């Protein structure tokens, strides 16, 4: 396919600004390199910076220039597909002019477009087909024969083209028109079984193409949803619709030609693939898996060879997408430390209309699978919470399956997440098919080929028979397997053999479950959203994120979403933080160690893949012809060395924390029996002495020292033994000839006996003369049956050694992976230690008052007491007004009805209390002068209001649905945060519902903050001992005796009720025009007077004949 001039073979050439599509030229015109072949190399003077419109990154691009692509066939003459020595500068300049069978050249002449339209149909047909060619053989006879074949097919091919006046070739193909498009099985998009991943490409069209372009279309027809990075020589080429993506999203420029074509060098693969994956594209890396010599040998062995066989084989080696990326030597590191998970979800509708879900999710760069099955409520609470904890990058569902309410979520709240649907049974396997498929693979076989199921499969199945309670879970695992296998990632991910049964938050049994057995506080997706716990700037996660390691950063959001309900665990963390705060030297030394560590979690997974024997022998990547192979080999070795250095540095923690008092710090940093940190001393020593690290990093190959690899040692011993035999034989020959005899020769001519000419006459028939040396010291050279035998033995031993050397890197990586459990144990300890240090640094850097909270067990009289508390994730913490809050305990009612002016800080106070409680149960210090609480089993929040258009649900309906869930699942040990319930309907209805709701909450006796603007609701509970009233204080002044009030918000929680909401003050601050505000005040006054009169008359008629009461009521009327 395309072969670029040597002067343009740089990455920068493909970042130039797009030239625009070119007008077709007449057939037969030639394009010569001319000036382009003499163009200077790119340098800083002719390079500029281009901003990609879809990215914040700046990309270096050359200034616009007229580039020429020389397009050759990559069949037998495709010598550019194998690495060559660099040509001399003279040969580079001598670029042979070559005729290009293409109808596109420069568009400098507008007249060319007119002449094209007026050209005869035969010429048009010919130029069209030439545009798909990569060029024909240099032999004239072959050219003529090929043209005759094309002419015969021309009528069939032109049917595929709708118009020559449109843009690129792919835009004019009939089978790509929306109304004509079909999948590989010729199904239309309207067909329920339509597979958008495939494309039907007509056979006649395929047969009209050059072998390499036919190869591209066949791969594209099976991966229509991917951008193909198609390897040609040293470059990844993008053709047709993929080339357009390359130009628009990556800043490439089009190569000359009527079909869209762009590309970049192999060395830039990681950068380009990551850029597209981040934009939501799937990228398929297509590698050459043959050299031209291998292709020639293959053709010789075939009985019948067609022209389509005379092209090097190419295979897809990896499909990368958001949610399914493997990082290695080519695609080095993830841009984000955070996880991005691939999900598969199977569903079944239950008799009561609810759903039962089976889910599998995995972070492919780490290789850990989570599998679960559970019944779900109509809000999909558990699923949404899982998504919050483990953010999805891609969600797989089953076609035609009923997902109930979850389907609405996919189309609404989750619409921005990539989604794929798989066909039942053939792609989305049944549970039985999943087990049978996994059983037939090599993922779970040991070195001797013995199969062993991972431990959790014993809980889910009896061999290949799934248990009923895990059918959906295994079904979802089957979907993940199909997807990863289709992406050529299954061996890499499944062979890591990390599977965990995931337990979602237990909502249904929160009342009946024995509270003392709960491990974690439940924080559902609504609470995570309302309290701004995770995500971007301003969230609790970003506030607390002082983690030094990537794996620590991934653990932090999980710790926030699942605060502990284990008193011992909480107090152990508090004790550890306290010791680190009091010992600055220890803390600093620990931080320095953690800061040095690479992403060990992903590094261990990488090295496992590097050392996997199945991957290195059966995967298409093992056959790939890579020009940067030595660079990739060096990167793999560097990954190993970097990982070993990381674990070696972590061993220093044993010394740093020796003698520490905290039980948790001892457990995380000391060897057994005092701690859980594994003693890696001998293991690290082995790898340190196994090979010369500097030499391996330099050469890209590991040569092990003696005793490291048994096969290599045996090969070395065999060669040494042969060398000894050669030396012994040489001594015999020297004694026989009576002079010094030496060996002469190289390679297959080695071990010739060189004998001085005056002694050579002793040689008998056993000695076969091979040559002679003339000059001052003439000599003759002989071979004997013994030397020939020893040469054959040596060549065989050397070949065996070379075979072992080629596999030595993998063997060393495999030895590293054999210690997988040790590395994982060390990683677990380092992750928790980083989390403790993160919370310690938050406490040390917090500018205000901070304290260690006092946490007590679940109590019969639950309570919260916070003095001078502040919102942990407040932006301006120094100017933040602290507040005291008490719920329950010490004769304080657990239910607080909170009132106050608009914008007075009610919602902030509510978030503050809930967030401090979460931090306290994480084991963290909290922003307050004093804090005490009994354990909380779950936090419920109902804050804000919005409708759900996708489900057709009003704001009020959504509000009441959330409130209903609270009543169903809250327990006495819960914390409830409810903000302005009932505002989505009429005042009287909302007031009535809110009042009845509070009355029901009183029965729960759980800690609750209920904010409202319904003052009649406050009146209703004014004298109730189970409720206490509070309001956000403000200072109100009248301006010069006028009715207009000036309100100063104090943001301070004060006992009692607030008389008014002061909404006009909020309107004034919001910029509502004064005349509207004044008019509103008048209307409000009238309404208030009417309500007062109505209330007094009601009391008069209900007062009986009490004269004193009547007088007082009449006085209130002021009449």
**Amino acid 141: pLDDT:** 52
pLDDT band at 877 (very low <50, low <70, confident <90, very high): confident
**Amino acid 231: pLDDT:** 96
pLDDT digits (tens, 9 = 90+) for 568-614: 999 999 999 999 999 999 999 999 999 999 999 999 999 999 999 99
Residue corresponding to tokens 């015969």? 152
Q: How far apart are the C-alpha atoms of 5 and 3, rounded to whole Å? A: 7
Determine how many CB atoms are found less than 10 A away from the CB of residue 1023: 7
The tokens for 638 are 């560097």
The tokens for 186 are 């010729």
CATH superfamily of 854-1072: P-loop containing nucleotide triphosphate hydrolases (3.40.50.300)
**Amino acid 162: pLDDT:** 41
DSSP state letters, 903-931: TSSHHHHHHHHHHHHHHHHHT--BSSSEE
pLDDT band at 440 (very low <50, low <70, confident <90, very high): very high
CA dihedral (1100, 1105, 1111, 1114) in degrees, to 10, reads 20
pLDDT band at 980 (very low <50, low <70, confident <90, very high): confident
Per-residue pLDDT at 76 exceeds 70: no
325 vs 15, 244, 273, 398, 593, CA distance in Å? 25, 23, 10, 22, 29
Residue corresponding to tokens 């030397």? 787
Per-residue pLDDT at 117 exceeds 90: no
Mean pLDDT score of the chain: 82
Task: Tell which residue, 343, 382, 350, has the closest CA to residue 473.
Answer: 343
Q: How far apart are the C-alpha atoms of 158 and 178, rounded to whole Å? A: 19
CB of 412 within 8 A of CB of 473? no
Work out the widest C-alpha separation in the chain, in whole angstroms.
Answer: 156
845 vs 308, 553, 782, 848, 927, CA distance in Å? 68, 18, 84, 9, 11
**Amino acid 482: pLDDT:** 98
Q: How far apart are the C-alpha atoms of 1025 and 709, rounded to whole Å? A: 79
**Amino acid 873: pLDDT:** 92
Determine how many CB atoms are found less than 10 A away from the CB of residue 965: 19
**Amino acid 636: pLDDT:** 94
The tokens for 408 are 């609405």
Strand partners, 1036: 1047
Per-residue pLDDT at 347 exceeds 70: yes
Least confident of 57-71, 831-845, 882-896: 57-71
CB of 478 within 8 A of CB of 430? yes
Q: Which residues contact 35 (CB under 8 A, 6 or more apart)?
A: 66
Q: What are phi and psi of 312, to 5 degrees?
A: -60, 145
Q: How far apart are the C-alpha atoms of 258 and 966, rounded to whole Å? A: 64
The tokens for 19 are 């030239």
**Amino acid 105: pLDDT:** 35
Share of the chain above pLDDT 70, in %: 79
Q: How far apart are the C-alpha atoms of 84 and 641, rounded to whole Å? A: 31
Strand partners, 347: 357
pLDDT band at 34 (very low <50, low <70, confident <90, very high): very low
Per-residue pLDDT at 3 exceeds 80: no
Q: Which residue has the higher pLDDT, 206 or 518?
A: 206
pTM of the model: 0.79
Q: What are phi and psi of 451, to 5 degrees?
A: -85, 140
Q: Which stretch, 134-148, 163-177, 261-275, 1083-1097, has highest mean pLDDT?
A: 261-275
pLDDT digits (tens, 9 = 90+) for 942-968: 886 554 544 545 667 778 878 888 898
Residue count of the chain: 1119
Per-residue pLDDT at 77 exceeds 60: no
**Amino acid 266: pLDDT:** 95
Per-residue pLDDT at 414 exceeds 60: yes
Q: Which stretch, 411-415, 730-734, 951-955, 1083-1087, has highest mean pLDDT?
A: 730-734
Vertex 410: Cα angle to 407 and 411 (nearest 5): 90
CB of 3 within 8 A of CB of 71? yes
Per-residue pLDDT at 357 exceeds 70: yes
**Amino acid 1115: pLDDT:** 64
39 vs 8, 11, 98, 1112, CA distance in Å? 8, 15, 18, 103
The tokens for 687 are 């790898």
pLDDT band at 89 (very low <50, low <70, confident <90, very high): very low
Judged on CB neighbours under 10 Å (0-12, 13-18, 19+), 407 is middle
Q: How far apart are the C-alpha atoms of 668 and 231, rounded to whole Å? A: 48
Per-residue pLDDT, averaged over 346-356, amounts to 87
Domain ranges of the chain: 2-260, 547-617+635-708+811-845, 854-1072, 1074-1119
Pairing of strands 282-288, 226-232: parallel
Q: How far apart are the C-alpha atoms of 277 and 976, rounded to whole Å? A: 41
699 vs 105, 124, 624, 702, CA distance in Å? 44, 54, 20, 8
Per-residue pLDDT at 82 exceeds 60: no
**Amino acid 99: pLDDT:** 35
Q: How far apart are the C-alpha atoms of 503 and 211, rounded to whole Å? A: 53
Q: Which CATH class is domain 547-617+635-708+811-845?
A: mainly alpha
Pairing of strands 779-783, 261-265: unpaired
Q: Which stretch, 40-44, 140-144, 398-402, 878-882, has highest mean pLDDT?
A: 878-882
Vertex 151: Cα angle to 147 and 155 (nearest 5): 155
Per-residue pLDDT, averaged over 540-545, amounts to 95
Q: How far apart are the C-alpha atoms of 746 and 389, rounded to whole Å? A: 65
Per-residue pLDDT at 181 exceeds 80: yes
Least confident of 404-413, 713-722, 1026-1035: 404-413
CB of 1046 within 8 A of CB of 1074? no
Pairing of strands 742-744, 752-756: antiparallel
Q: How far apart are the C-alpha atoms of 339 and 553, rounded to whole Å? A: 10
Least confident of 262-266, 470-474, 629-633, 1112-1116: 1112-1116
Q: What is the radius of gyration, based on Cα positions, of the chain?
A: 38
**Amino acid 586: pLDDT:** 96
- Which ranges of 583-669 does DSSP label H, i.e. alpha helix? 584-596, 600-611, 613-618, 629-650, 652-656, 663-669
Q: How far apart are the C-alpha atoms of 1096 and 31, rounded to whole Å? A: 100
pLDDT band at 84 (very low <50, low <70, confident <90, very high): very low
Judged on CB neighbours under 10 Å (0-12, 13-18, 19+), 1119 is exposed
Per-residue pLDDT, averaged over 842-856, amounts to 95
Per-residue pLDDT, averaged over 753-765, amounts to 89
**Amino acid 2: pLDDT:** 45
Q: Which residue has the higher pLDDT, 1026 or 127?
A: 1026
**E strand or H helix at 731, and its extent?**
helix 710-737
């Amino acid at each position: 396919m395309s072969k670029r001039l040597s002067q343009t073979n740089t990455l920068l050439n493909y970042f130039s600004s797009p030239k625009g599509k070119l007008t077709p030229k007449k057939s037969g015109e030639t394009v010569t390199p001319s000036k382009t072949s003499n163009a200077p190399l790119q340098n800083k003077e002719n390079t500029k910076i281009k901003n990609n419109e879809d990215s914040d990154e700046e990309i270096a691009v050359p200034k616009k220039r007229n580039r020429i692509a020389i397009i050759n066939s990559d069949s037998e003459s495709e010598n550019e597909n194998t690495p060559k020595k660099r040509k001399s500068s003279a040969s580079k300049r001598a670029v042979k002019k070559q005729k290009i069978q293409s109808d596109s050249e420069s568009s400098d002449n507008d007249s060319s477009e007119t002449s094209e339209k007026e050209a005869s149909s035969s010429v048009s047909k010919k130029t069209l087909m030439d545009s798909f060619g990569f060029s024909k053989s240099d032999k004239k006879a072959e050219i003529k024969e090929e043209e005759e074949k094309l002419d015969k097919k021309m009528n069939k091919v032109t049917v595929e083209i709708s118009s020559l006046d449109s843009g690129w070739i792919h835009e004019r193909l009939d089978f790509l028109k929306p109304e004509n498009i079909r999948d590989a099985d010729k199904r239309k998009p309207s067909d329920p079984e339509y597979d958008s991943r495939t494309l039907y490409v007509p056979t006649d069209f395929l047969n009209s193409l050059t072998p390499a372009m036919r190869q591209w279309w066949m791969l594209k027809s099976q991966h229509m949803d991917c951008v193909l990075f198609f390897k040609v020589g040293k470059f990844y080429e993008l053709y047709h619709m993929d080339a357009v993506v390359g130009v628009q999203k990556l800043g490439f420029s089009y190569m000359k030609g009527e079909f869209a074509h762009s590309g970049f060098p192999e060395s830039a693969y990681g950068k380009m693939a990551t850029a597209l994956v981040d934009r939501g594209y799937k990228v398929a890396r297509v590698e050459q898996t043959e050299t031209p010599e291998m292709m020639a040998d293959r053709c010789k062995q075939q009985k019948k060879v067609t022209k389509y066989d005379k092209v090097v084989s190419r295979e897809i080696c990896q499909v990368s997408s958001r949610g399914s990326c493997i990082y290695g030597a080519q695609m080095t590191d993830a841009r984000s430390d955070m996880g991005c998970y691939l999900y598969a979800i199977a569903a079944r509708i239950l008799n009561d209309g609810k759903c039962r879900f089976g889910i599998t999710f995995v972070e492919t760069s780490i290789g850990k699978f989570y599998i679960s099955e559970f019944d779900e409520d109509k809000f999909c609470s558990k699923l949404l919470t899982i998504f919050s904890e483990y953010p999805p990058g891609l969600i797989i569902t089953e076609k035609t399956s009923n997902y109930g309410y979850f389907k609405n979520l996919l189309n609404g709240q989750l619409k921005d997440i990539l989604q794929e649907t798989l066909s039942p049974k053939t792609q989305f396997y049944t549970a039985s098919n999943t087990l049978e498929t996994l059983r037939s693979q090599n993922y779970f076989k040991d070195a001797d080929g013995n199969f062993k199921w991972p431990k959790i499969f014993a809980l889910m199945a009896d061999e290949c028979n799934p248990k009923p309670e895990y059918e959906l879970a295994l079904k979802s695992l089957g979907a993940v397997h199909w997807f990863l296998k289709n992406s050529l990632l299954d061996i890499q991910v499944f062979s890591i053999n990390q599977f965990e049964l995931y337990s979602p938050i237990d909502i249904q049994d929160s009342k009946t479950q024995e509270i003392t057995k709960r491990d974690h506080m439940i924080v559902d997706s609504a609470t995570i959203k309302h309290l701004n716990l995770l995500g971007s700037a301003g969230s609790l996660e970003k506030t607390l994120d002082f983690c030094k390691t990537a794996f620590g950063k991934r653990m932090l959001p999980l710790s926030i979403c699942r605060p502990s309900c284990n008193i011992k665990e909480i107090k152990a963390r508090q004790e550890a933080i306290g010791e680190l705060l009091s010992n600055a030297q220890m803390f600093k030394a620990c931080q320095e160690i953690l800061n040095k560590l690479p992403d060990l979690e992903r590094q261990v997974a990488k090295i496992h893949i590097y050392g996997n024997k199945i991957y290195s022998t059966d995967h298409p990547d093992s056959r790939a012809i890579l020009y940067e192979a030595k660079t990739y080999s060096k990167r793999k070795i560097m990954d190993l060395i970097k990982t070993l250095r990381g674990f070696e540095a972590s061993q220093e923690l044993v010394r740093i924390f020796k003698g520490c008092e905290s039980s948790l710090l001892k457990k995380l940093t000391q060897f057994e029996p005092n701690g859980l940190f594994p003693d890696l001393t001998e293991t690290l020593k082995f790898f340190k002495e196994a090979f010369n690290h500097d030499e391996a990093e330099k050469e890209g190959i590991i040569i092990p020292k003696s005793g490291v690899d048994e096969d290599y040692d045996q090969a070395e011993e065999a060669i040494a033994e042969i060398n000894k035999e050669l030396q012994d034989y040489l001594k015999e020959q020297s004694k026989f000839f009576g002079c010094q005899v030496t060996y002469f020769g190289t390679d297959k001519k080695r071990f010739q006996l060189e004998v001085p000419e005056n002694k050579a006459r002793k040689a008998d028939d056993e000695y076969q003369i091979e040559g002679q040396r003339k000059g001052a010291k003439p000599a003759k050279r002989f071979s004997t049956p013994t030397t020939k035998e020893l040469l054959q033995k040596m060549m065989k031993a050397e070949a065996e050694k070379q075979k072992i050397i080629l596999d030595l890197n993998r063997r060393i990586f495999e030895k590293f992976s054999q210690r997988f459990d040790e590395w994982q144990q060390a990683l677990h300890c380092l992750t928790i230690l980083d989390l403790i240090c993160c919370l310690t640094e938050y406490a040390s850097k917090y500018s205000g008052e901070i304290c260690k909270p006092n946490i007590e067990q679940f109590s019969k009289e639950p309570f919260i007491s916070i003095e001078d508390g502040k919102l942990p994730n407040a932006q301006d913490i120094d100017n933040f007004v602290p507040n005291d809050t008490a719920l329950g305990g010490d004769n304080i009612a657990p239910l607080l009805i909170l009132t106050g002016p608009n914008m007075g800080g009610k919602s902030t106070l509510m978030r503050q209390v809930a967030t401090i409680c979460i931090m306290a149960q994480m084991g963290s210090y909290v922003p307050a002068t004093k804090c005490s609480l009994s354990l909380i089993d779950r936090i419920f929040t109902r804050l804000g209001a919005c409708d759900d258009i996708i489900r057709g649900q009003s704001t009020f309906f959504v509000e009441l649905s959330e409130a209903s869930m609270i009543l169903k699942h809250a327990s006495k040990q819960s914390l409830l945060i409810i903000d302005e319930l009932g505002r989505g309907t009429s005042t009287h209805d909302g007031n009535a519902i809110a009042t009845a709701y509070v009355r029901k909450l009183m029965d729960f006796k759980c800690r609750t903050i209920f904010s409202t603007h319904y003052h009649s609701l406050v009146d209703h509970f004014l004298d109730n001992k189970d409720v206490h009233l509070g309001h956000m204080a403000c200072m109100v002044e009248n301006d010069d005796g006028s009715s207009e009030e000036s309100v100063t918000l104090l943001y301070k929680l004060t006992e009692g009720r607030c008389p008014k909401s002061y909404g006009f003050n909020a309107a004034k601050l919001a910029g509502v025009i004064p005349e509207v505000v004044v008019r509103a005040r008048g209307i409000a006054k009238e309404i208030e007077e009417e309500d007062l009169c109505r209330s007094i008359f009601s009391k008069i008629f209900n007062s009986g004949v009490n004269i004193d009461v009547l007088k007082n009521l009449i006085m209130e009327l002021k009449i």
